[in-house]
Amino acid sequence: MKVETCIKERRSVRKYSEKDVSEEVINEVVSLARYAPSWKNTQVVRYHVIKTPQIKADIADHCVLDFEFNAKTIMRCKALVVVTVIKKVSGYENNGDFSTSKGDRWETFDAGIATQTFCLAAHSKGLGSVILGIFDEEKICQYIQIPENERITALIAIGYPLEEGKAAPPRKTVDELVTYY
């Protein structure tokens, strides 16, 4: 798949077929996502994959701050990916000081780049995905073991799409988005 096609055709998918997503396919997606750039090539993003129905149900029932739309998506997906970053690496110097005025926000940049790369890689493998941002990190940690040196940055629901891809919603023009000086 050409990169232009992948970018233009990838959509947020919230309904999935019953077809299982194998560990092999997920590993292929992670293998591609690991090429996402990161602060000083620190590669701090980690992927915790939940396929166990009861754990997904617990997270849907107790960890999405009563946002029913996310709860339904989690119950429908074949795998829920908990994206984390290793804390206090991105944006830090060896002595623990911040490298820039952005402070610890570099972790979020790295996680965002890796999360989008993961979703594009998933699309290239025929998977649908949606990034979920409404969740309670502490409660999720009650259901899966996240190492203490990591923090959760996003959830990604994945599975084979139930429906064919829909057309992209209208996009702003390039002139609306870019300013030259």
Q: What is the DSSP letter of 132?
A: E
H helix or E strand, kind and range, residue 75: helix 68-76
Instruction: Provide the percentage of residues in the chain whose pLDDT is more than 90.
Output: 86
Which domains, from first to last, does the chain contain? 3-177 (3.40.109.10)
Question: In whole angstroms, what is the distance from residue 64 CA to residue 67 CA?
Answer: 6
pLDDT in tens, 59-101: 999 999 999 999 999 999 999 999 999 999 999 988 989 998 9
Residues 133-149 have pLDDT tens digits of 999 999 999 999 999 99
Contact 135, 48 (CB under 8 A): no
Please say whether the dihedral angle defined by the alpha carbons of residues 121, 29, 59 and 137, taken in this order, is positive or negative: negative
pLDDT band at 164 (very low <50, low <70, confident <90, very high): confident
